[in-house]
Amino acid sequence: MPLPALPTQPSKLLPYLFEQVEEGQRLTVFHVGPALQDTVDFFSRYRCKLHFIDLFDELPITALEENDPSLQRQFVELLQFPRDTQFDICLFWDFFNFLNAEAVAAFIGSLRPYLNGSSRAHGFSVHNVKTPQSKHLYGISQLDKISLRNRPTALPGYAPHSQSRLKELLSCFRFERSVLLPDSRLEFLLRASL
């Protein structure tokens, strides 16, 4: 008996992540979250190396004190990629909604060595910081469809940033496009600006 199809939501921005990918090009992808079968199946059509790190399992990620260097160390330890890794695509999903400003800066600082001028990223933020926490884990089922799975429980540390604040915090990226979704979330596309 076949498994029931996962719920999906359309995405206008995911296709832009792949618009400059040439046939046969090797991709290196960083996916924040668990390795979901539909996402693995989607990327099987590309020559690629996938790096899944479920940082949601590490939440809450906070400093013990203000300007605590251990926060940067936490991310350096979590993001242990091979030294020569350069990501073409990063899938952040809604991870930044669960990090305070210091944690976002520490995460981006730890990720920066693995980015290059053509690195692109996708994620979600909120239009209004009072927007309730999303209950979904995200994956890719098709080039223009995001799969949705319910999280077993609410995640700790939910404190989303406004889009303007997120633009400041994501210092090595620039916002290329964003789309307001019906539930007051923003879907965004980033390009590295190193």
Please enumerate in sequence order all residues whose Cβ is within 8 A of that of 151, keeping only pairs 6 or more positions apart, or say none.
135, 136, 137
Element (H, E) at 35: none
- Residue 97 near residue 37 (C-beta atoms within 8 A): no
Q: Which domains does the chain have, with CATH numbers?
A: 8-192 (3.40.50)
Closest CA to 48 of 16, 15, 18: 18
pLDDT tens-digit map of 81-139? 998 999 999 999 999 999 999 999 999 999 999 999 999 999 999 999 999 999 999 99
* Greater pLDDT, 153 or 5: 153
Q: Residue 67 pLDDT > 80, yes or no?
A: no
Structure tokens at 134: 């999303």
Q: Tell me the backbone φ, ψ of residue 111, rounded to 5 degrees.
A: -80, -30
pLDDT tens-digit map of 6-44? 899 999 999 999 988 887 789 999 999 999 999 999 999
Q: Residue 2 pLDDT > 70, yes or no?
A: no
pLDDT at res. 65: 65
